[in-house]
Amino acid sequence: MKKKSNSRRMTYDVRRTPIVRPLWIEVDLRALRANYRKICKFVGSKVKIIATIKQSAYGHGLIPVAKCLSKAGVSFFGVGSVEEACQLRKAGFKQRIVVLTAVLNKFCDYFIKYEITPTVVDLAFARKLSSLAAKKKKKISIHVKIDTGMGRLGKDVNDAHKFILSLSKLKNLRLEGLYTHFPVADTNFRFTNDQIKSFNEFIKNLEKEGVVFKYHHCANSVGIMNYPHSHFNMIRPGLILYGIESSTKAKLEVKPALSLKSRVIFIKRIKKGSGVSYGSAYVAKKPTYIATIAAGYADGYPWAVSNNGKAGVIIGDKMYKVAGRVCMDHTMIDLGNKKITPGQEVILLGSRGDLQITANDLALWAKTIPYEVVSRFSLKIPRMYKGI
Ligand SMILES: *Cc1c(COP(=O)(O)O)cnc(C)c1O
């Protein structure tokens, strides 16, 4: 008999897999659902939502997050790769899937085979796609991306007009979405407003010539919160969906869905003057207990929090500081005089009672952004889902 692969079980259903190394992620799907509903309410019923679930749903787990959002009524998913789109199709999802990146021409048959929606930024790609679709007697919906200031994908808004007129002549493509992206929505109000303005004018000019897209979209989380006039009739939330507040004035009071937890695996008493971890950069000022926990930088716990001075974890009902450098699969914690027994739960990201460590806190300690913090948690870490 063919042995069933257990890789999915290991990733998605930890209850069936013994955890020896105590490190796991808990994802509260109730929070995810509630955040999604808050966003829907905030933008109103006329605005469609592309739930951005790229990079394994920002580390929360692609399939379980897609399942949860599918039940909540999401009709568009935004992914970061054709691979993720195929994974969703193979898992049986029927929603629209927009790949939010450019793909090399030679791979354009995937969009037809798996009925997924490409981002189009290149005429040769579009021609190839259209002729392949014609052979299969199909019409393919596309989302076209133009650049209004991001400097990444898409033709410059000032010379994209002709490009889109050419696209509109390709018989087997349906111009469904037109979009652009914000680089400084959190820091430069004027620049972002100018982007929205030029996007708007671009749409109007196309419509004068009879080229009409069904959806127009530009707002990511910060855009959604800070620029209501950027919603058009479609938005692309990522961060706020997962309950991570972005730097906005308006607050949606979303709830974090992800917690990273471990356990104390060893305790030792060290003398005044003893060093802790590589470089011995942390030196005990007085006799203290040091706990070793089973989480390190290879798991995605940032090395950059090493000796930061503020970085901490929650054990019991107290915060304790990280002591010395984060190691590949260990991190040490200074317990002071508190003696804790091995096995005690440790929260590296998450909350207990009034104590909370957010992705934003970890990002601040590690001098990075919350996006990097959550998307880097190793996919080897078992994920447990609450509120399925
Ligand atoms: C990731 C991404 C988003 C979501 O951004 P958030 O800031 O997480 O809301 C939106 N649009 C595109 C094109 C993206 O790549």
Q: What is the pLDDT of residues 276-334, one digit of tens each?
A: 999 999 999 999 999 999 999 999 999 999 989 999 999 999 999 999 999 999 999 99
Q: What is the pTM (predicted TM-score) of this model?
A: 0.92
Region 211-231 average pLDDT: 96
Q: Are residues 224 and 351 part of one domain?
A: no
Region 154-160 average pLDDT: 94
Is the pLDDT score of 153 beyond 80? yes
Give yes or no for a contact between 371 and 239, defined as CB atoms under 8 angstroms apart.
yes
Give the pLDDT score at 247: 72
For residue 237 and ligand 1, the question of a CB distance below 6 A is answered with yes
For residue 239 and ligand 1, the question of a CB distance below 6 A is answered with yes
Nearest to 17 by CA among 26, 27, 7, 25: 7
User: What spacing in Å lies between the alpha carbon of 279 and ligand 1's midpoint?
Assistant: 39
Is the pLDDT score of 343 beyond 70? yes
Of the residues 54, 67, 155, 261, only one is catalytic, namely 54
Is the pLDDT score of 9 beyond 50? no
Is the pLDDT score of 11 beyond 60? no
Is the pLDDT score of 201 beyond 60? yes
For residues 269-290, b (16+ Cβ closer than 10 Å) or e, as one string? ebeeeeebbeeeebebeeebbb
Residue 16 lies in a domain: no
Q: Are residues 303 and 236 part of one domain?
A: no
Q: Enumerate residues 6+ apart whose C-beta is below 8 A from 277.
A: 306, 323, 324, 325, 326, 327, 332
Count of the separate structural domains present in the chain: 2
Q: Are residues 62 and 179 part of one domain?
A: yes
Picking from 182, 214, 242, the residue at the C-terminal end of a domain is: 242
Q: Are residues 65 and 209 part of one domain?
A: yes
Q: Which domain range does residue 352 map to?
A: 258-386
Give the other-Cβ count within 10 Å of 214's Cβ. Answer: 14
Of the residues 90, 139, 278, 339, only one is catalytic, namely 278
User: What spacing in Å lies between the alpha carbon of 235 and ligand 1's midpoint?
Assistant: 9
Sign of CA dihedral 273, 277, 281, 286: negative
35, 38, 39, 52: residue to mutate for ligand 1 pocket, most atoms within 8 A of CB:
52
Residue 104 lies in a domain: yes
Give the pLDDT score at 376: 98
Residue 180 lies in a domain: yes
Residue 7 lies in a domain: no
Q: Enumerate residues 6+ apart whose C-beta is below 8 A from 165.
A: 209, 211
CA max distance for the chain: 79
Picking from 242, 274, 303, the residue at the C-terminal end of a domain is: 242
Give the pLDDT score at 1: 44
For residue 143 and ligand 1, the question of a CB distance below 6 A is answered with no
- Dihedral, CA atoms, 86, 90, 93, 97, nearest 10 degrees? 10
For residue 54 and ligand 1, the question of a CB distance below 6 A is answered with yes
Residue 20 lies in a domain: no
Picking from 212, 242, 272, the residue at the C-terminal end of a domain is: 242
Q: Are residues 198 and 303 part of one domain?
A: no
Tell me whether residue 132 is exposed, middle or buried, using C-beta atoms within 10 angstroms of its C-beta: 0 to 12, 13 to 18, 19 or more.
middle
Active-site residue, 54 included: yes
Region 178-205 average pLDDT: 96
Find the CATH number of the domain harbouring 81.
3.20.20.10
Q: Are residues 266 and 145 part of one domain?
A: no
48, 50, 218, 236: residue to mutate for ligand 1 pocket, most atoms within 8 A of CB:
236
Is the pLDDT score of 6 beyond 60? no
Residue 247 lies in a domain: no
For residue 130 and ligand 1, the question of a CB distance below 6 A is answered with no
User: What spacing in Å lies between the alpha carbon of 59 and ligand 1's midpoint?
Assistant: 14
pLDDT tens sequence across 80-138: 999 999 999 999 999 999 999 999 999 999 999 999 999 999 999 999 999 999 999 99
Q: Are residues 317 and 291 part of one domain?
A: yes
Q: Are residues 223 and 82 part of one domain?
A: yes
Q: Enumerate residues 6+ apart whose C-beta is below 8 A from 93.
A: 66, 70, 77
For residue 206 and ligand 1, the question of a CB distance below 6 A is answered with no
Q: Are residues 97 and 202 part of one domain?
A: yes
User: What spacing in Å lies between the alpha carbon of 210 and ligand 1's midpoint?
Assistant: 29
For residue 221 and ligand 1, the question of a CB distance below 6 A is answered with yes
Q: Are residues 274 and 157 part of one domain?
A: no
Q: Name the band, by pLDDT with cuts 50, 70 and 90, for residue 7.
A: very low
Find the CATH number of the domain harbouring 351.
2.40.37.10
Q: Are residues 186 and 62 part of one domain?
A: yes
Active-site residue, 285 included: no
d(CA 358, CA 34): 18
Q: Is 315 helix (H, G, I), strand (E, B) or coil?
A: strand
For residue 263 and ligand 1, the question of a CB distance below 6 A is answered with no
Residue 364 lies in a domain: yes
Q: Are residues 265 and 203 part of one domain?
A: no
d(CA 385, CA 388): 6
